[in-house]
Amino acid sequence: MTETIEWTPKARAALAAAGELFYERGIHAVGVDAVAERAGITKKTLYDRFGSKERLVVEYLLDRDQRWCAFLDQRLADADPSPAGQLTALFMAARDWADERGSKGCAMVNAHAEISDPAHPAYAVIVGQKARMRELFRGLAEQAGCNDPTLVGDQLMLLHEGAVVTAGMRAVEDPFAQALSVATQLLHA
């Protein structure tokens, strides 16, 4: 997957359609015919731009991750720079993202349910996103002066991921606020 994609309007339309359909219905449940139809392009055009469904899946996940990172980075930049302020901004950004763009839960978690083979090219995107989030939490724990920032960072990550999954299932009222409450205690313990 080293070939560069020429981001023509049709390639962007295919990516947007894939993003909607893969998130709404699942990666394996959506064929390239459905993506092409939603995008208003031919299947040949889709393959000309992406080469394979695998590549389209990778680009969908990369695009979703890049949009999440930009959203989160802005929220963190606008927040109180203290570890507690950053932690609050992170959990509230995740809440707002889920409210606006995440009715089906985390796209990476959903993709991992379908793509668990480390040899699949999308696997690195999925686990890479979680690794970056883990490092963010570990960094906050370190800045807060926690005795074991790795352990606390991992615990913060688990709280965050639990809130993300729970929000997608609507199993608990305001899971981000509840998880943030516990996360704040951990950060200050």
Residues 6+ apart with CB under 8 A from 129: 61, 65, 68, 108
Tokens of 162: 């639990």
pLDDT tens, residue by residue, 50-92: 999 999 999 999 999 999 999 999 999 999 999 999 999 999 9
Burial class (CB in 10 A: 0-12, 13-18, 19+), 7: exposed
Same domain, 40 and 65: no
- Show the tokens assigned to 49: 């731009």
Distance CA 34, CA 170 (A): 28
| pLDDT tens by residue, 88-145 | 999 999 999 999 987 788 999 999 999 999 999 999 999 999 999 999 999 999 999 9
Residue 3's domain is classified under what CATH number?
1.10.10.60
Model confidence at 160: pLDDT above 60: yes
Q: Global pTM?
A: 0.93
DSSP class of residue 122?
A: T
Q: 27 lies in a domain?
A: yes
Provide the domain limits for residue 27.
1-51
Is 178 found in the same domain as 103? yes
CATH at 156: 1.10.357.10
Residue 103 lies inside a defined structural domain of this protein:
yes
Could you tell me if residue 56 is inside a domain?
no
Query: How many structural domains compose the chain?
Result: 2
Q: If you write DSSP's letter for every residue of 138-188 in order, what string do you get?
A: HHHHHHTT-SSHHHHHHHHHHHHHHHHHHHHHT-SSSHHHHHHHHHHHHHH
The rounded distance, in Å, linking the Cα atoms of 37 and 171 is: 34
